[in-house]
Amino acid sequence: MGKYRKAIFTAGILLLITVVSWQLMNFVTSAEPLTEEEAKKLVEDKYNGDVVEIIKNANVYKIKISLVDTGDYFVEINRKTGDVESLQKVIAKGQEEQELTEADILEIVKSQQKGKLISLEKITEDNQSYYYAAVEQKTERTIFKINSVNGEIVDIEKEDVVAPQPEEDHAQSNKRITVQEAKEIALETVSGSIDDIEYEDEDGFPYYLVEIEQEHTEEEATVQIHAISGKVLSVSWDD
C-alpha cells in the first residue's frame, strides 16, 4: 500500500511540473512581435523623423529614417522587445571617408542610453578615428566607442559612479569649540558650578579641563573634553 501511495505521489509531482512548464512556455511564446506599423511609430516618436523604408528580417526591423538636421540613419529594432539594437548613419556613395559630426554621434548615443553626456572625445587608433562618449546616470557611467565614419558602436563599457561627498571646509573641521561650549558640555555631564577651566594641547591633541564643584557633597570633578569634537574624554573626582 505504501509503494502504491508513493507511486501516485511521484506521478502527481511529475504532472504538476509538466503543467507548470507548459504554461510558462506558453506565456513566453505568447507575446506578439511588433508589427511594421508599431515599429514605424516607435522610431518616429523616438527620433522625431520620417520613416523612409522598412526591411523586415528574422528578428529585427531595419528601418531607414530621415532626420531634418543630421540626415538619414538605419535603425535596427528588435521585433520581440522593441529595443533599439543599432543606429548607423547612412553614408552616400562617394562620401565613404566623410566623418560623422558630433551631432550625428549624439543622436546615436541618445538612442542607446538616457542620461547626461559628460564627455565626447575623438581619438585615432590604428589609423581609424573613434568617438568616445560618456553618459552618466545616478549610479552608472556608460562609455561608448563609436566608429567616426559609419557610426557603428564598437564597444560599450559600464562603470559604477560614486557620488562625491561634500568636502568639509578644512578650517571649519579643525575649529576649536569655545570656552563657553566646553563649560556647557561639562555641566551636562556633571552638575554643579564651574570652578576653573583650562585649555591644553599635548602633541597636537587639544582638550579642555573643566573643574566643577558640587556644593552638597563638596566633591570636585574634572571633566576632560576634546577641544575639536566636544567629546567628553574622562571624568575624575577629588574629595
Q: Distances in Å between the alpha carbon of 163 and those of 37, 136, 137, 224?
A: 42, 11, 11, 38
Mean pLDDT of 206-229: 89
Q: How many helices (H) and strands (E) does the chain have?
A: 5, 12
The pLDDT of residue 110: 86
Q: Which residues contact 131 (CB under 8 A, 6 or more apart)?
A: 100, 102, 105, 120, 121, 122, 123, 144, 145, 146, 148
β-sheet bridge partners, residue 156: 144
Walk me through the domains of the chain, giving residue ranges and CATH numbers: 32-90 (3.10.450.40), 96-164 (3.10.450.40), 170-238 (3.10.450.40)
CA distance 76 to 60: 6
3-state secondary structure of 96: coil
3-state secondary structure of 192: coil
3-state secondary structure of 221: strand
Report field, pTM of the whole predicted structure over 0.75? no
CA distance 144 to 130: 10
State the cell numbers at 20: 507548470
Q: What percent of the chain has pLDDT over 70?
A: 79
The pLDDT of residue 161: 81
Residue 231 pLDDT > 90, yes or no?
yes
Cell 579641563 maps to which residue? 209
The pLDDT of residue 227: 92
3-state secondary structure of 59: coil
Q: What is the pLDDT of residues 119-138, one digit of tens each?
A: 999 888 888 889 999 999 88
Pairing of strands 128-136, 116-125: antiparallel
Residues 197/177, Cβ–Cβ less than 8 Å: no
